[in-house]
């Protein structure tokens, strides 16, 4: 297996472990007091899209759905790897910054507070931006046309 793909696979395992705590917190939020929970396609579409891109990335790590690797494109692959690694961990940092306000669903809790620390001090939706950029980085790193 290619060394870049091994690094990506190890990062998937590492970020998955970090995301488990967020998922537990998200499950807890389903039983908390909710002030407002809008009915919108955004409740299901982003998580489903993220899951599909993760499945495509795992396939690309095993060189399923990828272009052939040639040495002349290694610079692009290394840049893609760096973008993927940086933004995957910024995404973890962003949901950890939310603390008890993290939820897998779009909702406003009764004791809701606006978070303006961490990456939320810089940008309003860092998780969505990071997901887009890490998918682009993963595509460049693996040459995965499915991702």
Q: Where are the beta strands (DSSP E) in the chain?
A: 34-36, 108-109
Instruction: Look at residue 91 and tell me if it is in a domain.
Output: yes
Instruction: Look at residue 106 and tell me if it is in a domain.
Output: yes
Distance of CA 75 to the CA centre of its chain: 23
Give the count of domains, the chain.
1
Residues forming a β-bridge with 108: 36
Instruction: Tell me if the pTM is above 0.95.
Output: no
Q: Tens digits of per-residue pLDDT, 85-113?
A: 999 999 999 988 888 777 777 777 777 78
Domain region containing 12? 3-142
Q: Is 145 in a helix, a strand, or coil?
A: coil
Q: What is the mean pLDDT of the chain?
A: 85
Q: Is 18 in a helix, a strand, or coil?
A: helix
**Beta strand 108-109 with 34-36: parallel, antiparallel or unpaired?**
antiparallel
* pLDDT tens per residue across all 147 residues of the chain: 799 999 999 999 998 877 776 656 655 555 556 766 667 776 778 778 888 999 999 999 999 999 998 889 999 999 999 999 999 999 999 988 888 777 777 777 777 788 899 999 999 889 889 999 999 999 999 999 888
Instruction: Look at residue 26 and tell me if it is in a domain.
Output: yes
DSSP 105-131: S--EETT-----SGGGGT-S-HHHHHH
Instruction: Look at residue 147 and tell me if it is in a domain.
Output: no
Whichever domain contains 49, its CATH number is 1.20.120.1630
């Amino acid at each position: 297996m290619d060394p870049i793909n091994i690094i990506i696979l190890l990062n998937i395992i590492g970020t998955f472990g970090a995301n488990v705590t967020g998922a537990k917190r998200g499950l807890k939020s389903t039983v908390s007091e909710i002030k407002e929970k809008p009915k919108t396609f955004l409740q299901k579409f982003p998580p489903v899209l993220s899951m599909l891109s993760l499945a495509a990335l795992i396939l690309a790590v095993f060189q399923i759905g990828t272009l052939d690797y040639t040495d002349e494109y290694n610079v692009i692959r290394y840049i893609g790897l760096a973008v993927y690694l940086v933004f995957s961990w910024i995404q973890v940092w962003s949901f950890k910054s939310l603390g008890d306000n993290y939820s897998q669903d779009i909702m406003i809790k009764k004791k809701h507070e606006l978070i303006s620390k961490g990456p939320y001090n810089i940008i309003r939706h860092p998780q969505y931006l990071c997901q887009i950029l890490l998918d682009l980085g993963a595509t460049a790193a693996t040459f995965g046309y499915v991702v």
